[in-house]
Amino acid sequence: MKTRKRNFWFNGDKVFMGISYVALALVFVLTLYPMIFVLSASFSDPGAVSSGEMVLFPKEFTLEGYRYILKYNEIWLGYANTIFYTLVGTFINLAVTLPAAYALSRKELVGRNLILFLFMFTMYFSGGLIPSYLNANSFGLVNTRTFVLINGAVSVYNLIVARTFFSSTIPEQLHEAARIDGADMFKDFFKIVLPLSKPVIVVLALYYGVGHWNEYFTSMIYLAKRREAWPLQLFLKEILIQGQFAESALMAGGLSTEEIAYLFKQADTANMVKYGVIVVSVVPMLAIYPWLQKYFAQGVMLGAVKE
Amino acid sequence: MFSVKGTRISPAGKRGGKRSFRNLLKCWQLYVFLLPALLYIILFVYKPMYGILIAFKDFRIGDGIWGSEWVGMENFQRLFDSYWFPVILKNTLTLSLLSLVVGFPLPIIFALLLNELRWKKVRNAIQTVSYAPHFISTVVICSMIMLFLSPSSGIVNHFLNLLGIDSVYFMQDTGLFKWVYVLSGVWQGLGWSSIIYSAALSGVDRNLLEAAQIDGASRIQRIIHVNIPVLVPTMMVLLILQCGSLLGVGYEKVYLLQTDANITASEVISTYVYKMGLIEADFSFSTAVNLFNSVVNSVILIVVNFLSNRVTKNGLW
CB A271 within 8 A of CB B170: no
* DSSP secondary structure letters along B230-254: HHHHHHHHHHHHHHHTTT---HHHH
Asked if A285 lies within 8 A of B136 by C-beta distance, the reply is yes
Q: State the pLDDT at residue A250.
A: 54
Q: What is the pLDDT of residues B143-191, one digit of tens each?
A: 999 989 988 888 899 899 889 888 899 998 899 999 999 999 999 999 9
Q: State the pLDDT at residue A307.
A: 41
Give the three-state DSSP class for B9: coil
Q: State the pLDDT at residue B123.
A: 92
Residues B47 and B89 in one domain: no
CA distance B277 to chain A (A): 6
Q: How many domains does chain A have?
A: 1
CB-CB neighbors (< 8 A) of B132 in chain A: 31-32, 35, 286, 289
The answer to whether residue B6 sits within a structural domain is: no
CA distance B304 to B83: 30
The number of C-alpha atoms within 13 Å of B228 and in the hemisphere containing its C-beta is: 9
The strand pairing partners of B70, in sequence order, are: B57
Q: How many domains does chain B have?
A: 2
Residues B55 and B109 in one domain: no
A23-27: long-range contacts, CB 8 A cutoff, minimum separation 24: A23/B109, A23/B113, A24/B110, A24/B113, A24/B114, A24/B117, A24/B126, A27/B110, A27/B126, A27/B130, A27/B190
Closest CB to B130 among A31, A118, A247: A31
CB-CB neighbors (< 8 A) of B191 in chain A: 31
Closest CB to B144 among A34, A110, A210: A34
User: Where among B42, B70, B98 does a domain terminate?
Assistant: B70
The answer to whether residue B78 sits within a structural domain is: no
Residues B63 and B93 in one domain: no
**Closest by CA position to B181, among listed B84, B83, B277, B267:** B267
Residues B134 and B111 in one domain: yes
Residues B61 and B103 in one domain: no
Give the three-state DSSP class for A73: helix
Kindly report the CATH number assigned to the domain that includes residue A121. Answer: 1.10.3720.10
Q: Could you tell me which residue, A135 or B17, shows the higher pLDDT?
A: A135
The answer to whether residue B137 sits within a structural domain is: yes
CB B288 within 8 A of CB B79: yes
The answer to whether residue B132 sits within a structural domain is: yes
* Residue range of the domain that includes B62: 11-70
Could you report the predicted ipTM of this complex, rounded to two decimals? 0.85
The answer to whether residue A165 sits within a structural domain is: yes
| Angle between helix B105-116 and B120-131 (nearest 10) | 160
CA distance A103 to A86: 26
Q: State the pLDDT at residue B15.
A: 47
Q: What is the pLDDT of residues B29-62, one digit of tens each?
A: 899 999 999 999 999 999 999 999 999 988 888 8
CA distance B194 to chain A (A): 10
CB-CB neighbors (< 8 A) of A134 in chain B: 48, 51, 54, 65, 283
Residues B115 and B137 in one domain: yes
Cα torsion A147, A153, A156, A158: sign: positive
CA distance A205 to A203: 6
CB-CB neighbors (< 8 A) of A51 in chain B: 153
The strand pairing partners of B57, in sequence order, are: B70
Q: What is the 3-state secondary structure (H, E, C) of B168-204?
A: CCHHHCCCCHHHHHHHHHHHHHHHHHHHHHHHHHCCC
Farthest CA pair distance, chain A: 85
Report the residue of B7, B19, B30, B309 to disrupt the A interface, i.e. the one with the largest count of A CBs within 10 Å: B30
CB B252 within 8 A of CB A216: yes
User: With pLDDT > 70 as the criterion, what percentage of chain B qualifies?
Assistant: 93
CB A204 within 8 A of CB A93: yes
Extract the residue ranges of chain A whose pLDDT is less than 50.
1-5, 244-246, 248-249, 252, 306-307
Report the residue of B19, B24, B45 to disrupt the A interface, i.e. the one with the largest count of A CBs within 10 Å: B45
CA distance B307 to chain A (A): 18
Is the model's pTM score more than 0.80?
A: yes
Q: State the pLDDT at residue B220.
A: 85
- Within 10 angstroms of residue A3's Cβ, the number of other Cβ atoms is 8
The answer to whether residue A6 sits within a structural domain is: no
Q: Give B166's DSSP letter.
A: P
The answer to whether residue A22 sits within a structural domain is: no
The answer to whether residue A107 sits within a structural domain is: yes
| Angle between helix B283-312 and B228-244 (nearest 10) | 150
Kindly report the CATH number assigned to the domain that includes residue B159. Answer: 1.10.3720.10
**Closest by CA position to B182, among listed B111, B274, B85, B104:** B104
User: Where among B48, B70, B92 does a domain terminate?
Assistant: B70
CA distance B268 to chain A (A): 15
Asked if A306 lies within 8 A of B33 by C-beta distance, the reply is no
Cα torsion B229, B230, B231, B233: sign: positive
Give the three-state DSSP class for B142: helix
CA distance B151 to chain A (A): 8
Q: State the pLDDT at residue A139.
A: 94
Asked if A95 lies within 8 A of B36 by C-beta distance, the reply is yes
CA distance A280 to A70: 10
Q: Which of residues 12-71 of B touch A (CB under 8 A)?
A: 12-13, 20, 23-24, 26-27, 29-34, 36-38, 40-41, 43-52, 54, 65
Residues B102 and B161 in one domain: yes
Residues B131 and B269 in one domain: yes
* Residue range of the domain that includes A162: 68-307
CB-CB neighbors (< 8 A) of B22 in chain A: none
Residues B235 and B107 in one domain: yes
The answer to whether residue B5 sits within a structural domain is: no
Give the three-state DSSP class for B57: strand
pLDDT at B223 over 80: yes
Residues B246 and B113 in one domain: yes
- Within 10 angstroms of residue B31's Cβ, the number of other Cβ atoms is 15
Residues B23 and B60 in one domain: yes
CA distance B202 to B224: 16
The answer to whether residue A9 sits within a structural domain is: no
Residues B250 and B198 in one domain: yes
CB B226 within 8 A of CB B201: no
- Within 10 angstroms of residue A287's Cβ, the number of other Cβ atoms is 10
Give the three-state DSSP class for A215: coil
User: Where among B70, B93, B110 does a domain terminate?
Assistant: B70
Asked if A27 lies within 8 A of B130 by C-beta distance, the reply is yes
pLDDT at B12 over 80: no
